[in-house]
Structure formats: C-alpha cells, structure tokens
Amino acid sequence: KQWYQRRVAITAGDKWEKDQIFPAHKVFKLLGDNGYLGISKPVEYGGLGLDYSYEIAAAEAFATINCGGVSMAIGVQCDMATPALTKYGSHHVKENFLKPTIAGDYVACLGVSEVGSGSDVSSIKSKAYVDGNEWVINGGKMWTTNGTQADWMCMLVNTNDNKNPHRSKSLICVPMKTKGVSVHRKINKMGMHSSDTAEITMENVRVPLDNIIGEEGKGFQQQMNQFQNERIYAAAGAIPAMDRAIQETIAYTSQRQAFGKSILDNQYVHYRLAELQTEVECLRALLYQCVQQHVAGEDITPQATMLKLKSGRLVREVTDSCLQFWGGMGYTDDVIISRLWRDTRLISIGGGADEVMLNVICKYMGIDPGSRG
C-alpha cells in the first residue's frame, strides 16, 4: 500500500481526473515490473503464484488513491480480462497474451457488453465464423474499460448457431491493432473520470483460430466464472472507498461549525457514522469469507453475487449519507466526497446490475418463478 501510494498516487489524482485518462502503459509497466499484475497468476508466465487472498489485499491497496478509475483499470487487467485466459487458455494464448499482460507490456480490456446487451450477456450479437485457419469477427463492444489504450481484448463472441445461447459463444483474444478494429468513440462518464471507456467496432477482423480461449462454445460459462473475480474485486475496491468517505466526513464535520457546535457533535451525525462503519465491517467480513472459499476451490457464485449486491447498495448509502453532512461543499468538485460518490455509483451497475444479482440469488435459493417450475 505504501509503495503504491508513493509511486503511483503522488503523480495521480487531479490531473488524470481532469484529463479523463491516465497513462495506462506507464502505470501498468511500473506495476508489472514489481509483480503486482500477476500476484495469483502462474509463475511460468511471470506471475507470483500466490493464492487469491494476496490479490485481494493488493486490490484494497489499489483503491486507496484518489482516482477510482485507475483501480478499476487495474482490476480489468488482473481480474476481469485474464482469469478465464489463465484457467482455460492454451500455452499459445498464455504465452502471447497473458505473459505480456502480467509483465505490464500489454494493456488488456474485456469485451462483453454491447449496445442493447448489457447485463443480459446471452443476448450479445457479435459473431465470428471460421475461414481457413482464422476467425473472422464482426460486431462491436460497448462500455469497454481501457478501450482506447488496450493492446488486446478478451472478447465474448458467438461462434456457432446453437439455439441455446449459453452454448453458442466463445472467448477469443483479439489484438486491438488488427485491421478492422476501431475505437468508434470515447465515452464520457459521470464518474471514474481517470479511466478511459470506449465503444469498439469490429469489421471483418481476422485472428488465428489458436486465439480462442479453451473449447469452442464454452465462452458463456467461462465468462460467468470470470465474473466472480470481477465481483469480488468490486467489493474489495468499494470497502476502502467507504472507509475513506467515513473518515473524511469525520474530519470535515469535526471542524465545521454550525449553531455553536461542530456538525459532528450532533447526535444524529455521529450515530449515523457509527451505523455506517458497522455495516462496512460486516461487508468486510463477507468479502474475506468469500475470498477464503474461493481459495479453497468452492463454488462462490451465490456468495460473490450477494457480495456484489451488498457492496453496490452499501457504498451508495455510505457516500450519499456522508455527502449530506458536507452540505453545499459536498456538492462541489473541490472535495473528495463528491468524487467518491460519483465513482462508486458504478458498482451497482457494472459487472451485473443489482437486479441481475437479485435474480441470480433467487435462482440459487429456488424462489424465482423459473426455479419453481
């Protein structure tokens, strides 16, 4: 944490927020040279080979700087675009995509969502067909984090005509400099300003057949498994943000005077902050339990889903409650609380909206209409 804050945070923050982009290749190379992009990845591809709990400890540290977008971009590199590649990929794709990503030589992005297909992953329309020894890909991806700077995309695409949408998709590694790949536009967002987000289009993009991750037609299941890492990472980033929001609010309200006493001296204010911190500690315990189960090799789909749902809802409650205690100052861009409020709003949307999380939980509980027949 101290190394990261000293080497990255000192040059980050306001400039990258204002520029609405950070130098991903520079930052990732620095992280890669020091082993932080492959903490739980295999040693033979440049990783440290540690268990997943160490990766989450790093994720908590990454979330401590003022740029939520930087932490999110690192998460794409480590926990969103590469888990399936690590678990299912051939030596060829690991050598050509995983290894340079761990080293920080490549910036990765994940291509799942499309225009009209967000949380409903099975409805994506992008398609690839075989021509000789190549995949020919047509389609596009939306809301692609790292999209304007990425060297390659882990892309979910339809690769057969199976009527079951869960068996018609594959994950393919697509170099972003391949002919036919273009950044259609850079998307302006309400938060995570330091992270670039893009709409990507692909027209007759040709990549080798060997660039597929695992078996053809298994991409949907691979991506569902990959989502579990993303959801854990989201919680690991949300908790430090909540800690920061509460501590910054304590500091501000303790010195801000109104009606002859500090804002913090009002019972409602300090009771409310105590309630919020209690909720954060409960969520932290759920995070660590989920990580422990993941390390043990258990199916964590219900736990990771609950964790993601609770993280998104609680971080909204914490940042909104804290911002209220800042009054008019909280509504400006001059203070950290407004940045935390707008950055963390994404957690209830990205990686599966709250409503999708509830649907998954209901299925595991056997209480959704489809499960009950």
Enzyme catalytic residues: 230
How many Å separate Cα 262 from the centre of its chain? 38
| Tokens 């998460």, residue located | 75
How far is it, in rounded angstroms, from Cα 72 to Cα 79?
10
How far is it, in rounded angstroms, from Cα 111 to Cα 109?
7
How far is it, in rounded angstroms, from Cα 125 to Cα 254?
54
Pair 309, 354: CB distance under 8 Å: yes
Pair 198, 160: CB distance under 8 Å: no
Tokens standing for residue 200? 């990507």
Tokens standing for residue 76? 């794409």
Contact residues for 174 (Cβ-Cβ < 8 A; gap 6+):
111, 137, 152, 153, 155, 181, 202, 205, 207, 211
* Identity at 188, one-letter amino acid code: N
CB atoms within 10 A of CB 116: 10
| Tokens 């794709």, residue located | 93
Q: What's the burial of 2, exposed, middle or buried (CB within 10 Å: 0-12/13-18/19+)?
A: exposed
Pair 228, 80: CB distance under 8 Å: no
Pair 150, 193: CB distance under 8 Å: no
Tokens standing for residue 288? 């660590």
| Tokens 């949408």, residue located | 165
